[in-house]
Amino acid sequence: MPTLQTKLPKVGTTIFTVMSQLAAEHGAVNLGQGFPDFPVPDRLVQSLEAAMRAGHNQYAPMTGIPALRQAIAAKALRCYGAQVDAESEITVTSGATEAIFNAVHAVVRPGDEVIVLDPAYDCYEPAIDLAGARAVHIPLDPQTFAVDWERVRAAITPRTRLIMINSPHNPSGAMFSAEDMRALAELLRETDIFLLSDEVYEHIVFDGRRHESVLRWPELRARAFVVSSFGKTYHCTGWKIGYAIAPPALSAEFRKVHQYNVFCTFAPAQHAFAAMLSQEPEHDEQLGAFYQAKRDRFRQQLLGTRLKPLDVPGGYFQLVDYSTVSDLPDLEFVKWLTIEHGVTAIPLSPFYETPPAGQRLARLCFAKNTATLDAAIERLAKL
């Protein structure tokens, strides 16, 4: 047997897999992994079936079918006022995770540095490591999850190649403001640093807030990959369809990686999403109100427990402070909660390089039907 040296020494089984397996073993209500348990829109299912029956079952074009790329361009104009060229600036991918991987490998070289903001989603650093680069972790405020832009500025070196941002933020739900975008633009203005903006929860925003997509900000868009996810918007995370919007030169490099990664993405679903975007654009416009009703009801229920819910401006996760319930570290707490009380959550520590000392927060997903959330609350009320 040849000697094996792992290329990802810090990577094991993801916390999402660990907790979902534990939930299954103990019959727990799984509010851990972020997937909805309610149906996808009827039109989407019907359009998928129609596409398959029409024979759209072979390889799609490498960049995505033209109808879908044109529908994405129309959506970018409708939602953000951004003129996007469907031919040269949009690439359809096998999920947002693939798009993030492609973007990193399109521009990052061995020895480069990539700034990530902690807590950060767990696919970011492995993509950076596989590119031979180093992730530079900048912690967000442990209570508000706001960015300290001066701290980001101080972390920039001649090796900094890319900054990765995420709004609405997973796991906290925090959102960038217009002031954040101006600060980021000023920070990058005289540099050669690229930007990767993870916007998979772009339509799940609450209380009248505006999602500050990088597509709204021409100065930032000129150096950015903007990544989105159909799975989050249309309740079909298992379909694994996303896309990236980037200027032509960046898209060209992105597509070189995409071409030899997966080459193309599931063709029937591309036709279904093209139909959905063109025939039912109100879906994404109404998504915030749909999830806000779930957030508000779940938050009100949590106030009847010993868990303290934090503010959630966007996304479909609710952070709770469990410090009045337990002094256990978060990983031990969520395992205890699953085994002893039958509710599964996700700890925050796996999202950090160095978790804040004494932080007692866990993440619950409220992208669930009413019966699922009610069953969880019934158990959490007994803590």
pLDDT attached to residue 364: 98
pLDDT attached to residue 1: 86
DSSP structure string for 340-365 = HHSEE-EESGGG-SSPPTT--EEEEE
Would you write out the chain's pLDDT as a tens digit for each of its 383 residues?
Answer: 899 999 999 888 889 999 999 999 999 999 998 889 999 999 999 999 999 999 999 999 999 999 999 999 999 999 999 999 999 999 999 999 999 999 999 999 999 999 999 999 999 999 999 999 999 999 999 999 999 999 999 999 999 999 999 999 999 999 999 999 999 999 999 999 999 999 999 999 999 999 999 999 999 999 999 999 999 999 999 999 999 999 999 999 999 999 999 999 999 999 999 999 999 999 999 999 999 999 999 999 999 999 999 999 999 999 999 999 999 999 999 999 999 999 999 999 999 999 999 999 999 999 999 999 999 999 999 99
**What phi and psi, each to the nearest 5 degrees, are found at residue 252?**
-60, -45
pLDDT attached to residue 254: 98
- The Cα diameter of the chain in Å comes to 60
All structural domains of the chain: 15-40+283-380 (3.90.1150.10), 42-280 (3.40.640.10)
pLDDT attached to residue 12: 85
pLDDT attached to residue 352: 96
Q: Which residue has the tokens 């190649």?
A: 161
Q: Output the CA angle 327-332-336, nearest 5 degrees.
A: 95
Distance, in Å, from the CA atom of 149 to the CA atom of 347, rounded to the nearest integer, reads 26
For 122, half-sphere exposure in the C-beta direction (CA atoms, 13 angstrom radius) is: 16
For residue 61, say if its preceding peptide bond is cis, omega within 30 degrees of 0.
no
Kindly state the helix (H) or strand (E) to which residue 370 belongs, with its residue range. Answer: helix 370-380
Is the Cα dihedral 61, 62, 68, 71 positive or negative?
A: negative
Burial of 202 (0-12, 13-18, 19+ CB in 10 A): buried
Distance, in Å, from the CA atom of 240 to the CA atom of 191, rounded to the nearest integer, reads 34
pLDDT attached to residue 13: 84
Residue 332: closest CA among 324, 27, 340: 340
DSSP structure string for 54-114 = TT--SPPPTT--HHHHHHHHHHHHHHH-----TTTSEEEESSHHHHHHHHHHHH--TT-EE
pLDDT attached to residue 85: 98
